[in-house]
Structure 1
Amino acid sequence: MITGQVKLCNNMEAIKCFNRAMNELKCDVDLQQGRYVIDGKSIMGMFSLSLLEPINITVHTDNEAEIEPIKAYISDYSIE
């Protein structure tokens, strides 16, 4: 499992790229903000969140081959 925080900055191109990348994953992705948890592969769900605020991300995978590429991609949107 991979967890962290991301910020998409309400930039339409960034949101589309992020969504495309999440949809290529074979595992489940959850995005959480406050009490709302949405499917990280749902672009409509993403727009129900405040994209100007940090979003908690959880990628549900134990596949070692997937973990590093996912972390590398998410790092472009991560909040340190």
Structure 2
Amino acid sequence: MDTNFIISLDSIADVNAFANTIAHFKSEIDLSSGRYIVNAKSIMGIFSLDLTRPLTLTVHGKDELEEISSAIAPYLKK
């Protein structure tokens, strides 16, 4: 089962911190903007997205969902 979150990465520092945070999880996690989907653990992939718009973070599976939700809290779109 997949869970989606809407996040915002407003600066290069945000992208670096976000990618480093997400890299620690074993779950498959994707980021999408429009029709483009990239691995959320890939800094290069993240920079290929349109960062001026909100991004959709998709967590595949439920194993680490609680930990991931806490880790991405600073990036959640309000």
TM-score of the superposition, structure 2-length normalised?
Answer: 0.89
User: How many aligned residue pairs are there?
Assistant: 77
Partner residue in 2 for 1:79: 77
Partner residue in 2 for 1:67: 65
Question: Matched residues, percent identical?
Answer: 34
TM-score of the superposition, structure 1-length normalised?
Answer: 0.87
Partner residue in 2 for 1:34: 34
Specify every segment of 5 or more residues in structure 1 that has no aligned partner in the other structure, as ranges: none
Specify every segment of 5 or more residues in structure 2 that has no aligned partner in the other structure, as ranges: none
1:39 maps to a residue whose letter is N
Query: Per the alignment, in what secondary structure is the counterpart of residue 2 of structure 1?
Result: strand
**Is this contact kept in 2: 1:2–1:71, CA < 8 A?**
no
1:30 maps to a residue whose letter is D
Aligned-pair Cα RMSD in Å: 1.1
**Is this contact kept in 1: 2:59–2:65, CA < 8 A?**
no
